[in-house]
Chains A and B, each alone.
Chain A
């Protein structure tokens, strides 16, 4: 470890313009050369503000007081070109959503070359190009893809490009702000491995901002817990996860363990709710009419679900789990097979009977904000399904919406019904989406990655809510996720999909302990787990 820390914060106070209280209230942190530190904490604790303050990307009018030293320099004293040089060479930044951070009109090679050109104007063009291809190769992107545009890449590939960009100038510090939240587990593990290896090779320090404790524990030496802009606890990763000292850290670790270790006992036998037989959803990709090429998104899936049961659908991206949901909702084309809901055929029905049957399946989407009309107030949004089906007068629908707001834990309902979706937190938005799905009194609820965008604590709350509603209403739940830990804890039964087919099926805990299929083994291996030590067991 070098004598001089790469990043040193001393009593840093940051206040956004117009904010009543400072977002960072006296934060002190130190990060030495080559160290890997994770910043964790509940939403809104100021994690991302640290990154913005270090790079001086705070919105104009913000206050930033206290000691801030980046590689021995205070970035606040720099202006214009010097600040830009510092941003590129001393710090590399990897964002959560790589798509929005890449220019859609530049190829990824040009992205890299631009960065190199801006910071190494003296280098010759061929050398720059060579360095760019070397960087891409380093993050696992073949040189043929040099001329590809960002939209031609998958999420994981884009995040790799972002990592290559951040590492292009061998910065002494890399800040990764939730780098894998939008990726599935298997890809996330690969991306984190690349990032971690690159940091080690170039001797860069890594500041990982995450809400996932297990991820932080797996990839970082140190974990710092933040709350309301202050450092609550900092300790070596293993120590903090096994024996957290501060109440907040204890709560966070307990929640994460609860999520991982909870196990749902088999539900009491009940009537069969859903029976899918040999369902096929093929998309036509082209080819001559006598020899069409198909994308077999779902290829012969059969499953049974009884009332009050939760079945988890697990698989890597592109395994067909979302298509299956869409097919059940009637939003994707079905090529063959049967789906029976309470004994009635869901696919062949017509007219009023079909609409009546469809009402019994509802869906909760991944992104609660995107699935709510931004111009509709929450009360209206929840009442809308009743009006769509003409089941109630507007006043009665309003009243019912209020009851459901209370039922999903948003009480008093009067305080929430007048708000717009944007004015709610992520967890509250998802509660609204659940209330909206439940107002039609469905028998089966499809949850498509419904908790993957929420932080661990809120995830646990939403899952508890779903379980409670399930017990009260006898709902069948089809729970789609890429997170095996969540699936095994929450679901009674887990089904693993790969390439549109079921490859493995069984109780979640058994699957985790002894995975059979290759894809299951891969997912289990990729899934970051909290360390288990003697301390934890004696707890």
Chain B
């Protein structure tokens, strides 16, 4: 007699794997566009995203301009494609800085504990209570426009997230026996942080990284929409959307659709990647 117990939850893992694969494809495509775009412009295959003087203004999509032109006569297609490189640069920079500050700070705070820990937790929780967009708007306003400035404004928002996750995990892991065993071997705090704690807390970071990146794309778009963050000369989806907003009631849809779609798909791709990674890491 054979009793077949219910099959394991195959569909769910398949779905998350599929999500992750799609997410990876989307993000890779954006990265490829970002890399190839300057080359194409240089070769003259695409028009310069900032030059628009000799183009017709607000032209509908046509063979000359696949996605039409905006009210300054700039090619929407090449602006949208160029926006991908800008967005990825700012977001990667911001998230990496947040990671490099938040993770060590969280580890030190969690491992050492005491007054330093309490102070840092208070500080980070205070930062956490402020709305993301509000905080970055204020920072972007204070720092002025520019690519590194926009990245700095964004990263401050994400530092507390890394700090929190890593700190709590450090508190949990420092009670493990292998940390005590390492201390009994004569390892100092720095050595333990580097060789024992880091490797065990870092596993939760990739998921946070991709989810934060998705969030950061949106916040960057929001900053651009408000006229903060990047200078006007840099093609950026949020700024383009702001320009398109006034034209939208007159039936000019292409200036809003393509940058919006680009933003949406990138956020979707990063979110898929994060969800897939989370499933994969928690399963394996």
B-chain residues with CB within 8 Å of residue A440 when the two chains form the complex: 185
Given that A65-B2, A76-B1, A76-B3 are contacting pairs, would A374 and B200 also be in contact in the complex, using a CB cutoff of 8 Å? Answer: yes
Spot the interface stretch: A26-34, A354-362, A473-481: A354-362
B186 touches A388 (CB 8 A): yes
The smallest beta-carbon distance between B85 and chain A, in angstroms, is: 35
Question: A373 contacts B199, CB within 8 Å?
Answer: yes
Our pick among A65, A66, A329 for the contact of B184 (Cβ within 8 Å) is: A329
**Cβ–Cβ contact A373 & B8, under 8 A:** no
Rounded to whole angstroms, the CA-CA distance of A373 and B202 in the bound complex is 14
Query: For A367, what are the chain B residues with a Cβ–Cβ distance below 8 Å?
Result: 177
- Interface range, B side: 20 to 34
Whether a CB of chain A sits under 8 angstroms from the CB of B118 is no
Q: Which residue of B lies closest to A77 (CB)?
A: B3
Task: Indicate if B42 sits at the interface (CB-CB under 8 A).
Answer: no
- Per-residue CB contact flags for chain B residues 183-204 toward chain A (1 = under 8 Å, else 0) read 1111110010001100110000
The answer to whether residues A65 and B1 also contact, given A359-B186, A370-B177, A385-B186 and a CB cut-off of 8 A, is yes
Q: Could you say which of B5, B176, B181, B199 contacts A62, with CB atoms under 8 Å apart?
A: B5
Q: Which A residues touch B178, using CB under 8 A?
A: 370-374
Q: Quick check: B200 and A375 within 8 Å, CB to CB? A: yes
Q: Which of B4, B5, B185: most chain A CB closer than 10 A? A: B185
Query: How many Å from the CB of A475 to the closest CB on chain B?
Result: 17
B199 contacts which chain A residues (CB < 8 A)? 373, 375-376
| A440 and B181 alpha carbons, distance in the complex (Å) | 14
Given the complex of chains A and B, what is the CA–CA distance between A367 and B4 in angstroms? 37
Q: Can you name the residue of chain B whose Cβ is closest to the Cβ of A67?
A: B1
Are B186 and A358 neighbours in the complex by a CB distance under 8 Å? yes
Q: Are B186 and A389 touching (Cβ within 8 A)?
A: yes
How close is A522's CB to chain B, nearest CB, in angstroms? 29
From B6, B183, B185, B188, A384 is in contact (CB under 8 Å) with B185
Residue with the greatest number of chain A CB neighbours at <10 A, chosen from B3, B187, B188, B196: B3
**In the complex, chain B residues whose CB is within 8 Å of the CB of A17:** 8
Q: What's the minimum C-beta distance from A70 to chain B, rounded to whole angstroms? A: 14
Q: How far is the CA of A455 from the CA of B213 in the complex (A)?
A: 50
By CB atoms of chain A within 10 A, which of B6, B180, B186 has the most? Answer: B186
Query: CA A436 – CA B176 in complex, angstroms?
Result: 18
A25 to B177, CA, bound (A): 38
Closest to B176 in A: A370
Given that A63-B2, A373-B199 are known contacts, is A362 also in contact with B8, CB under 8 Å in the complex? no
| A-B pairs with lowest CB-CB distance, top 6 | A375-B199, A370-B177, A371-B181, A60-B5, A329-B184, A388-B187
A-B contact sample (7 more), CB < 8 A, given A61-B8, A363-B181, A388-B191? A60-B7, A355-B186, A374-B200, A376-B199, A384-B182, A384-B187, A436-B185
Interface on B for A, CB 8 Å cutoff?
1-8, 176-178, 180-188, 191, 195-196, 199-200
